[in-house]
Homo-oligomer: A and B are copies of this chain.
Amino acid sequence: MSNEEKFFEREKGILIVISGPSCAGKGTVCKIVRENRPEIRLSVSETTRSPRNYEVPGKDYFFVTKEAFEQRIEQGKYLEYATVYDNYYGTPKDYVENLLEEGYDVILEIDIQGAAKVRENYKEGIYIFIAPPSMKELRRRIEMRGTESAEQMEMRLSCAYDEMTNADDYSYIVINQDKNVAAHQVESIITAEKCRTERLKNKVNDILGR
């Protein structure tokens, strides 16, 4: 193995997939983690919808044409993608893998369905499930958003209940009672994963000079 290859193998970043039912607070938790650990990159999605006036291309989304997106689907260029209201949204495989190869850890905040698809394509990721402390509290948080009818809220809650049953598919569960405690737990998981023996084999060989 050349020195360069060794360097890349040793230094490769980890993909941290953060998911959970809607209103469990995964966005807030990710925001705090990124403030505390600015060296971690956030995965940026591609979409075919038009940019909103406050959105920065390349930061909020990569904006692409429908034709380009569909071509990239056929080329297998997405870790996952979905259609929402006639627009595509997808996680670009090359973008994420380049960051990982460069040694950056990458957070991908994504819904349960998206996380399941990413897992099929990237088993080496760290899968963290953000759960609400109780269904009662989740209901309160959904009601707080207050933008939906009672019927829509019930549907959302029932959907969140179903999504909770996916927690078993994840390596870690972070119960989001307090957002700062939850963020600290996510940061600890990232630190711990970087200490896993299988990720440090090259470093041990370096220490032993072999």
Contacts and interface: CB of A to CB of B under 8 A. Distances in A.
Contacts of A189: 188, 191-192, 195
Contacts of A79: none
Contacts of A197: 129, 167-168, 170-173
B208 A164 contact: yes
Interface in A159-178: 161, 164-165, 167-168, 170-175
Contacts of A131: 204, 207
B192 A175 contact: no
Interface residues of A, number: 36
A175 B187 contact: no
Contacts of A207: 131-135, 164, 175
B184 A191 contact: yes
Interface of A: 128-129, 131-135, 161, 164-165, 167-168, 170-175, 184-185, 187-189, 191-193, 195-197, 200-201, 203-204, 207-209
